[in-house]
Amino acid sequence: MSSKSPVTVLDSLNLGLHQAMEDDPRVILLGEDILDPYGGSFKVTRGLSSQFPKRVLTTPISEAGITGIAGGMALRGMHPVVEIMFGDFSTLITDQVINHLSKFQAMYHDQVTVPVVIRTPMGGRRGYGPTHSQTLEKLFLGVPGLTVLAPFNIKSNEALGIPGKLLYDAITVLDFPVFFVENKRQYLLKLLSSTDLQEYEVSEIETAGKASLPFYKLALRAAPKAQITLAAYGYMAHLTLEAAIRLAYDEEIFCEVLVPTQLSPFELAPLFDSVKRTSRLLSIEEGTLSLGWGAEVLARTAEALGPNLKVARRLTATGTVVPAAPTQEADCLPGVEDIIVRIREMV
C-alpha cells in the first residue's frame, strides 16, 4: 500500500481500491476507460491497471453486459468491482442488478453468494446537463438482496479514510451485491480530520454485520439542546454540516446531523434516537422528491416515533431535469442556502 495519507475523498477511494486488489487476488476491476494513463473518467481507478495489469479490464460501452458478467464471476468465487462511468447510466444495469445479482443468493436457496461492488458517481453541479448529472440511487433503495452504500468524507482513525475503508470492506469482506454511490463533487472534498471537526462531537455508531458500516452523529460541542435532526448522506452531508454551523453561529439554531453510510436496507435506529430528542426531522438529498430516500426515512421515523415526531420535511432537487446552465442548475439542486431556509421554516 502507498504510504501516503489520503487527502481527498478521491485519494481515499483510490487507496481503498489499491489495498483491496493487493490484499485479495479474487478482486478484479471492470469498467470503461479505466486503464492508465487515463485512469477512469474521474480518476478513481488511477494507477490500478499499471500495478495489476491482468486484473483490470477495460470494457466496451456495455454497462448491462459487464454488470452481468461480474455477477457470473462472483458466482464462481471472484470479487469483481464494476465502475459505471456516470450514475445516470445505472438505468442500463437495472435488470442485471434487480433480476440477477440481487436475486441469486435467495433464489438459489442460499447455496451461492454474489460479492460484487458496483461503484458509480451521481450528482450535478458540474454543468454536464440532464443525462450526466442525476442522483438516481433511489431507484435501487429497497431492492431485496441489494445493499446501497454512500461514503462520508471523514478521515476518522482509518489509514484509508472512511470512504476508502468503506469501499475496501464492501469489496473484500461483504459477500453480497453492493451499489456504492459516489458523488462527483464529493471526490474533491478534503477528508475531514478531527481538527477540522473540532467544533463537533462526532459519534461513530457501529451497525451490526460483517463489516463496519457506520452511522455518524455530529452535534456541536457544548451547544444547547438541538432543535432539529438533519438526515443527509454523501455530498449533501457535507453541505448540511456547512448549513448547520452557519445557523448555530448566525442564528443560534442548533441541529444534530445524522449521516448513514448504509442507505439500504434502512437501519435507522441512531436517527430515531436523535429525533426522540429533537422531535423535528429534515431529510436532505440531491435526488428528486417523490418516493426518494427521504420519503422512506420520514415514513419509518413516523412509524417508529408516532406523535414524538412533530415536524418532518424533505429537501430535494426540484422535479425537473438537471439543466446544464449554471444558474438554472443551482436553482434545481438543493444547496446550503436552501437547507438554511428550510430549517428556519421548521424551528
Residues of this chain that bind another protein (CB under 8 A): 28, 57, 59-60, 62, 64-78, 80, 95-96, 99-100, 103, 106-109, 111-112
Question: To 10 degrees, what angle do helices 161-172 and 9-23 make?
Answer: 30
Nearest distance in Å: CB 139, another protein: 18
Nearest distance in Å: CB 107, another protein: 5
Nearest distance in Å: CB 303, another protein: 28
Nearest distance in Å: CB 282, another protein: 40
Q: Which is nearer to another protein, 95 or 242 (CB)?
A: 95
72, 12, 86, 184 alpha-carbon torsion, rounded to 10°:
160
Short-list 85, 153, 76, CA closest to 115: 76
Q: Which is nearer to another protein, 26 or 126 (CB)?
A: 26
Beta carbons within 10 angstroms of residue 210's beta carbon: 10
Nearest distance in Å: CB 50, another protein: 19
Q: Which is nearer to another protein, 99 or 290 (CB)?
A: 99
Nearest distance in Å: CB 311, another protein: 43
Full DSSP string of 215-271: EEEEEETTPPPPSEEEEE-HHHHHHHHHHHHHHHHHH---EEEEEESEEES---HHH
Nearest distance in Å: CB 18, another protein: 19
Nearest distance in Å: CB 286, another protein: 30
Residue 303 φ then ψ, to 5°: -65, -40
Q: Which is nearer to another protein, 95 or 206 (CB)?
A: 95
Interatomic CA distance for residues 87 and 242, integer angstroms = 25
Q: Which is nearer to another protein, 67 or 261 (CB)?
A: 67
Cα 322 to Cα 52, 113, 133, 187, 287: the distances in Å are 37, 37, 6, 20, 10
Half-sphere exposure (Cβ direction) of 297: Cα atoms closer than 13 Å: 32
Beta-ladder partners of 215: 205, 260
Cα 128 to Cα 22, 92, 182, 318: the distances in Å are 34, 19, 16, 17
Cα 32 to Cα 66, 321, 327, 331: the distances in Å are 10, 25, 31, 32
Q: Which is nearer to another protein, 4 or 109 (CB)?
A: 109
- SS3 of 283, please? strand
Q: Which is nearer to another protein, 100 or 342 (CB)?
A: 100
Short-list 127, 36, 34, 174, CA closest to 325: 127
Residue 208 φ then ψ, to 5°: -70, 155
Q: Which is nearer to another protein, 116 or 192 (CB)?
A: 116
